[in-house]
């Protein structure tokens, strides 16, 4: 999969938009980032999953998905090796990441 293929899949998610910050392309739903492209390396994308969704992705395609190093990986931040990724593996995982962003409360939401 190329970075352009990943970009198209990410933008196909409901209400997804793209932004660029510090050389990294971010994919957002509302104000929540669900995926990035180009970090930590141009050969990778990163998804923000729940730990449960991360475990399922790792089990389904261990060569494609890996936890990000450190505490972020334990919280579900997942690296995607683009060269090994196929749309069939990535589409449902991207949908989970976008759904997680869509369902989380905005940092700017008012309570009450």
Q: Rounded distance, CA 95 to CA 10, Å?
A: 8
Distance of CA 33 to the CA centre of its chain: 8
pTM beyond 0.75: yes
Residuewise pLDDT in 10s, the chain (112 residues): 999 999 999 999 999 999 998 778 999 999 999 999 987 788 999 999 999 999 999 999 999 999 999 999 999 999 999 999 999 989 999 999 999 999 876 544 333 3
Cα four-point dihedral sign 20, 2, 58, 87? positive
Domains, the chain, with CATH or none: 3-101 (3.90.1150.30)
């Amino acid at each position: 999969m190329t970075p352009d293929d990943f970009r198209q899949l990410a933008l196909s998610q409901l209400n997804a938009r793209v932004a660029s910050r510090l050389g990294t392309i971010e994919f957002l739903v509302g104000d929540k980032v669900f995926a990035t492209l180009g970090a930590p390396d141009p050969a990778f994308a990163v998804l923000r999953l729940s730990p449960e969704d991360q475990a399922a992705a790792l089990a389904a395609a261990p060569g494609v998905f890996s936890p990000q190093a450190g505490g972020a990986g334990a919280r579900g931040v997942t690296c995607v090796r683009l060269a090994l990724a196929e749309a069939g593996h990535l589409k449902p995982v991207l949908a989970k990441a976008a759904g997680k962003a869509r369902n989380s409360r905005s940092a700017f939401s008012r309570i009450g």
